[in-house]
A and B are shown apart, each in its own frame.
Chain A
């Protein structure tokens, strides 16, 4: 079956513009995660969805960042008024619903490389 897909694979934008990044999780995976990979900060957690709700948004770096998930499937990460420090690879992962004392593997997509000029 298909893995996690992300689009676009590359995005170049000008400072101050808004961007939307899309993640299509594996069918049936109710948990969805966004991470950011940048040279200065390494791999950082951004936000976690269980179904359509986001119980943990603690990793979003500023109020310019937001994310939504509709229909328990596709998720969109939106960055408003982009800054150069937003340049990074944005990774999406999905898994079956996590539970106490159990583990369900997170499957990662190939990422979206965002470059802010």
Chain B
């Protein structure tokens, strides 16, 4: 079965600092990996996805993530945090082979950005 582990339920950074949100996955088949963001009282918005092409994936709002098979990781980074980045972030995995794209989510990491 596929699973995702997000380290740290809360991450606090100062505005302008590096953002690093950690995600490790477990999958017996080649995975598709995703990062979603959720702002208060809103649905989920896709930030970026890895679907077996380039291992360094660039997404919206200056975020990027690197797929590292040897480490089974897909950490999310942004060089300089902005106040508007404060939100909850979810890492997710789905199967790539069968085409059935049920998403399995991590428990989420709340990003806090201080001035």
Contacts and interface: CB of A to CB of B under 8 A. Distances in A.
Interface of A: 4, 31, 33, 35, 42-45, 48, 55-56, 59, 91, 93, 95, 98-106, 108-111
Nearest to A42: B107
Nearest to B106: A42
Interface of chain B, helix or strand or loop or mixed? loop
Interface stretch (B20-28, B37-45, B60-68, B71-79): B37-45
Given A42-B105, A91-B43, A100 B99 contact: yes
Given A55-B100, A56-B100, A103 B43 contact: no
Contacts of B96: 101, 103
16 contacts: A35-B103, A42-B108, A44-B105, A45-B104, A56-B100, A56-B102, A91-B44, A93-B44, A95-B101, A99-B99, A100-B99, A101-B99, A103-B101, A106-B46, A106-B101, A110-B41
Contacts, number: 61
Pairs A-B, 10 closest by C-beta atoms: A108-B43, A43-B105, A100-B99, A108-B44, A99-B99, A98-B101, A98-B99, A103-B51, A110-B43, A42-B107
A106 B97 contact: no
A28 to B, nearest CB: 17
A31 B102 CA distance: 11
A106 B105 contact: no
Contacts of A104: 101
A56 B44 CA distance: 22
B90 interface: yes
Contacts of B52: 101
Chain B CB within 10 A, most for which of A93, A103, A105: A103
